[in-house]
C-alpha cells in the first residue's frame, strides 16, 4: 500500500495596525500572498501600495501590517452582519452589505468549456502537494486562456486568498476567473449474499447478508484516513394470495464492531376492487453518521448518535389495462418522525461548524405517481412521472442556526417533480429522466429552483447460470449549474459505467 505524507498545517497570525485580526490554520508557504489576499478580500486594501509596512515575525509564523487608519475605520464602520460560514482555514465571521461589494470593472471573460477543462488539467498537473499527500485544496487565477497564479493549501479559502494576494502583489487586480480544486477520494468494497425459498403456494422466504467497507482521503481529514466496516443480516417473509399479501422483515446490522438496533418493517397490499389496491407500511428507520459527520476537521464529532425514528405510509393505486396499453395511477401519504437529527452548525464559543444531535424532525407529505406503458412485439415504451409535496419541519426551536419550531428544514425543497421516458427493445434499454426541484431555504441565502436530465443505456443477457447487465449512465446531461447546499456547486455533466453479474440456480422442488 502506498504511504502518503500528511498535509502540513500551521497557525499563522496577523496584527493590523497593532490589533490582532485573524489567525489562520494553513499550509505554511506563500504566507505573504495569504496576508495580502486576505486584506484585499476583506476590503482593507485596493492595491498592494495601500500597505504602508508588512513585517514577518522571526520567532513564529505571523505578520505585522500597517495601513491607513481611515481604511480600517471604513471597514469596521461598514454594515456587517454575522453569517454562518463553514470551511477550512480562516472563516470570516462577518459579511458586509452586498450593496457595498465592488462590482467587476472589466468585461466577463468568455467561458469556453474545452479551454476550462484544459486549464483544470494544467492546474491538476501543478498539484505537487496533492501528489505527496493525497488530499489538499488548490486554486488558480486565469484570464480564460492561461493560468496566471496557482496555490495549494489545506484550507480552500486560504488557497483562494493566496492566489488573490499573488495577483495583487504583481500589480494585476484579480478581475479574472478563479479555478478552485477541492479533491477527495474514497474506496468502497461491497459484497452481498442472498437466498430465497418458497414453501407451499403462499409463503416466500428471503434472507441475506451484506458487507461494506469504505475508506476516504481528503484534506478535511488532516492526517487521518477514516474507514468504516458494516455488515448486516436481513430476512423477510411474504404471504401472498390472489388479492391480499403481507410482508414482514427484520434487519440486524453491526458497524465497526458495535451492534445496532433491530429494524423491523411490516407491509400489506389489499386489492379490494379489480382496479383498486390499498397499500400500507410501517417501519423503523436508523441512519448512522457519515465519515464527514464524525471525522471532518474541524467540526467532526465521533460521539454522534445515529438518527432514528419510525415511518408510516398509506397508498391507493388504480390500474387499467387495454390490450397493449397499461395505465397505473397512485397517491401516497406518509408520515415520519426522526429523533437525534444531525445538523452542522456553529455552537456557542466556536468559530466553525460542527456536527451535533440537536433536534427532532417531523416529515409528512403527498406523492402522486403515474405510469403509462405500451408494448408491441419486442418494443416496450414507458412514460412515468411523479410529484412530491414534502413538509419537513423542525420540532425544536434553535438559536444557532435560527430556526423556529415548525420551520421547513434548510436545503429541503417543498416541491419536486420528475418524468422518465424509456424504450426497451429485446435486451437493450434506453431511458431519459428529467427532474425539477423547487427552491429551498438556506442558512444565509435561498437556493434557486433547478432542472437536471439523466440518460441510461444498458444491455442485459444471460449465459447458463449467469445473468449480467452492462450499463452506461450520463448524469446532468444538460450540464446545469445548481446547488443543493449553499456555496457547494454540484457536478456538471458526468458519467458512470459498470457491470452487474448474478449467479442463479433453480430449485428442483
- Residues labelled as active-site residues: 88
DSSP β-bridge partners for residue 392? 363
Residue 334: all three cell numbers together: 406518509
In angstroms, rounded to a whole number, what is the distance separating the alpha carbons of residues 274 and 291? 49
Please answer whether residues 281 and 249 qualify as being in contact, where contact means their C-beta atoms are separated by less than 8 angstroms: no
The three-state DSSP-derived secondary structure of 333-387 is EEEEEEEEEEEEEECCCCCCEEEEEEEEEEEEEEEEEEEEEEEECCEEEEEEEEE
> Minimal CA–CA distance to 39: which of 29, 28, 50?
50
Q: How far is CA 460 from CA 144, 281, 429, 499, in A?
A: 44, 32, 8, 10
Strand pairing category for 10-16 and 62-67: parallel
Strand pairing category for 263-273 and 203-218: unpaired
Please answer whether residues 409 and 455 qualify as being in contact, where contact means their C-beta atoms are separated by less than 8 angstroms: no
> Minimal CA–CA distance to 386: which of 313, 455, 331?
331
Please answer whether residues 39 and 87 qualify as being in contact, where contact means their C-beta atoms are separated by less than 8 angstroms: no
In angstroms, rounded to a whole number, what is the distance separating the alpha carbons of residues 18 and 468? 70
In angstroms, rounded to a whole number, what is the distance separating the alpha carbons of residues 105 and 221? 39
In angstroms, rounded to a whole number, what is the distance separating the alpha carbons of residues 165 and 26? 15
- Concatenated DSSP letters of 75-144: HHHS-EEE-----SS----EEE-GGGSPPP-SPPPP--HHHHHHHHHHHHHT-HHHHHHS--EEEEEE-S
Residue 404: all three cell numbers together: 423556529
In angstroms, rounded to a whole number, what is the distance separating the alpha carbons of residues 476 and 432? 11
SS3 content of the chain, % helix, strand, coil (to 5): 15, 55, 35
In angstroms, rounded to a whole number, what is the distance separating the alpha carbons of residues 261 and 282? 16
- Concatenated DSSP letters of 172-205: ----SEEEEEE-EEEEEEEEEEEEEEEETTTEEE
> Minimal CA–CA distance to 186: which of 295, 326, 73?
295
In angstroms, rounded to a whole number, what is the distance separating the alpha carbons of residues 144 and 111? 7
Quote the distance between the C-alpha of residue 137 and its chain's center.
18
Amino acid at each position: 500500500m502506498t504511504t502518503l505524507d500528511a498535509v502540513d498545517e500551521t497557525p499563522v497570525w496577523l496584527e493590523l495596525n497593532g490589533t490582532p485580526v485573524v489567525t489562520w490554520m494553513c499550509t505554511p508557504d506563500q504566507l505573504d500572498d495569504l496576508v495580502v489576499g486576505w486584506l484585499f478580500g476583506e476590503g482593507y486594501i485596493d492595491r498592494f501600495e495601500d500597505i504602508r509596512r508588512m513585517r514577518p515575525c522571526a520567532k513564529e509564523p505571523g505578520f505585522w501590517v500597517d495601513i491607513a487608519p481611515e481604511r480600517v475605520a471604513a471597514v469596521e464602520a461598514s454594515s456587517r452582519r454575522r453569517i454562518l460560514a463553514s470551511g477550512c482555514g480562516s472563516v470570516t465571521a462577518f459579511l458586509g452589505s452586498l450593496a457595498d461589494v465592488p462590482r467587476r470593472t472589466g468585461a466577463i471573460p468568455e467561458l469556453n468549456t474545452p479551454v476550462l477543462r484544459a486549464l483544470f488539467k494544467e492546474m491538476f498537473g501543478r498539484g505537487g502537494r496533492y501528489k505527496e499527500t493525497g488530499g489538499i485544496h488548490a486554486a488558480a487565477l486565469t484570464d480564460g486562456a492561461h493560468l496566471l497564479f496557482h496555490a495549494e493549501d489545506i484550507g480552500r479559502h486560504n488557497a483562494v486568498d493566496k492566489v488573490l494576494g499573488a495577483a495583487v502583489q504583481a500589480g494585476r487586480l484579480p478581475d479574472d476567473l478563479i479555478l478552485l480544486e477541492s479533491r477527495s477520494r474514497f474506496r468502497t468494497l461491497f459484497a452481498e449474499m442472498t437466498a430465497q425459498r418458497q414453501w407451499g403456494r403462499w409463503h416466500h422466504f428471503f434472507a441475506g447478508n451484506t458487507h461494506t467497507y469504505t475508506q476516504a482521503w481528503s484534506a478535511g481529514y488532516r492526517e487521518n484516513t477514516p474507514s468504516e466496516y458494516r455488515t448486516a443480516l436481513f430476512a423477510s417473509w411474504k404471504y401472498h394470495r390472489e388479492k391480499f399479501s403481507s410482508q414482514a422483515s427484520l434487519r440486524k446490522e453491526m458497524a465497526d464492531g458495535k451492534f445496532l438496533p433491530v429494524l423491523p418493517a411490516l407491509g400489506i397490499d389489499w386489492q379490494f376492487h379489480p382496479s383498486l389496491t390499498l397499500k400500507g407500511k410501517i417501519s423503523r428507520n436508523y441512519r448512522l453518521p457519515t465519515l464527514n459527520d464524525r471525522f471532518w476537521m474541524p467540526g467532526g464529532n465521533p460521539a454522534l448518535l445515529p438518527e432514528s425514528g419510525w415511518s408510516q405510509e398509506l397508498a391507493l393505486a388504480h390500474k387499467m389495462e387495454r390490450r397493449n396499453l397499461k395505465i397505473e395511477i397512485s397517491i401516497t401519504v406518509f408520515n415520519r418522525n426522526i429523533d437525534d437529527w444531525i445538523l452542522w452548525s456553529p455552537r456557542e464559543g466556536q468559530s466553525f461548524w460542527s456536527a451535533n444531535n440537536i433536534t427532532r424532525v417531523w416529515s409528512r407529505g403527498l406523492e402522486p405517481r403515474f405510469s403509462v406503458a405500451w408494448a408491441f412485439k419486442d418494443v416496450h415504451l414507458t412514460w412515468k412521472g411523479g410529484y412530491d409535496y414534502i413538509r419537513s419541519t423542525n420540532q425544536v426551536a434553535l438559536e444557532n442556526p435560527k430556526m423556529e419550531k415548525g420551520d421547513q428544514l434548510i436545503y429541503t425543497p417543498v416541491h419536486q417533480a420528475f418524468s422518465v421516458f424509456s424504450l426497451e427493445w429485446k435486451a437493450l434499454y434506453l431511458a431519459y429522466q428529467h427532474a425539477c426541484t423547487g427552491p429551498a431555504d438556506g442558512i444565509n441565502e435561498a437556493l434557486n429552483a433547478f432542472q437536471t436530465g439523466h440518460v441510461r443505456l444498458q444491455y442485459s443477457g444471460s449465459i447458463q447460470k449467469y445473468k449480467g447487465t452492462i450499463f452506461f449512465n450520463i448524469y446532468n446531461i444538460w450540464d446545469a449549474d445548481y446547488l443543493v447546499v449553499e456555496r457547494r456547486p454540484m457536478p456538471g455533466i458526468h458519467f458512470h459505467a459498470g457491470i452487474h453479474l448474478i449467479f442463479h440456480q433453480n430449485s428442483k422442488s
